[in-house]
Amino acid sequence: MWSSLAQDMAPLPVINRGFGGSHIEYVNRWFEPLVAAYRPSAIVFYAGENDLDAGKSPQRVIADFDAFLALKSAALGAVPVYFIPLKPSKLRFAQFAQQSGVNAAIRARATQRTDLFYIDVVSPMLEEGRPKDIYLADGLHMSRDGYAIWTPLVRGALLPGAEARTARCLSREAASR
């Protein structure tokens, strides 16, 4: 639903492969046509919330993400993956603890891998520990205000030499500083 993605990421070329109702296992199942076929120079990964909402355990979500990384490494080598964490939405705020567990596990993996970066979009989406008013009426999908939070963080992580990579992405390099 990030309809302004191409404009927001300019001048970076963007291929939006997001699809509604996604689960990480679906991305893995169709990895070749969804990801590998494009031979991307970087992957921005956002999935996992629907998995938890469907009843999958945090451990399963993490295992599915690990499987994604294995597929990526086998097909694309060192191409970097920029992980956008599971977001704190109004509709699914009861799952925030589980989401935080998944996010923490993947953030920890980013300290161990040179091809994985964690973009902290969660902190700026919260106000006094609750989701900001940045959602559409369904309480799940973000409004333009939500994407306005994400845009500089994601852009900054992807653009060479961007300060946001140090400030908002955690990699082995950043963690060792």
Domain residue ranges of the chain, discontinuous segments joined by +: 5-176
Alpha carbon 60 to its chain's center: 17
Residue listed under structure tokens 């993996």: 109
CB under 8 Å to 78, separation ≥6 — which residues?
A: 114, 115
Beta strands per DSSP E along the chain: 43-45, 81-83, 116-119, 126-127, 130-131, 169-170
- Residue 111 in tokens: 């300290």
Q: Dig out the tokens for 148 from the structure.
A: 């306005």
Q: What is the pLDDT of residue 170?
A: 46
Predicted confidence at residue 171, as pLDDT, reads 44
The 10 Å Cβ neighbour count of residue 139 is 12
The backbone torsions φ and ψ at residue 28, rounded to the nearest 5 degrees and listed phi first, read -65, -45
- pLDDT in single tens digits along all 177 residues of the chain: 898 999 999 999 999 998 888 999 999 999 999 999 999 999 999 999 999 999 999 999 999 999 999 999 999 999 999 999 999 999 999 999 999 999 999 999 999 999 999 999 999 999 999 999 999 999 999 999 999 999 999 999 999 765 444 344 544 444 444
Predicted local confidence at residue 138, as pLDDT: 97
Residue 157 CB partners (closer than 8 Å, separation 6+): 82, 117, 119, 164, 165, 168, 169
CATH class held by domain 5-176: alpha beta
Buried b (16+ CB within 10 A) or exposed e, 84-97: bbbbbbeebeebbe
Residue carrying the six token digits 């996604």:
22
DSSP state of 87: P
Q: Strand order of the sheet with strand 81-83? A: 43-45, 81-83, 116-119, 169-170
Q: What is the pLDDT of residue 174?
A: 43
pLDDT of residue 160: 73
Residue 49 · residue 99 · CB < 8 Å: yes
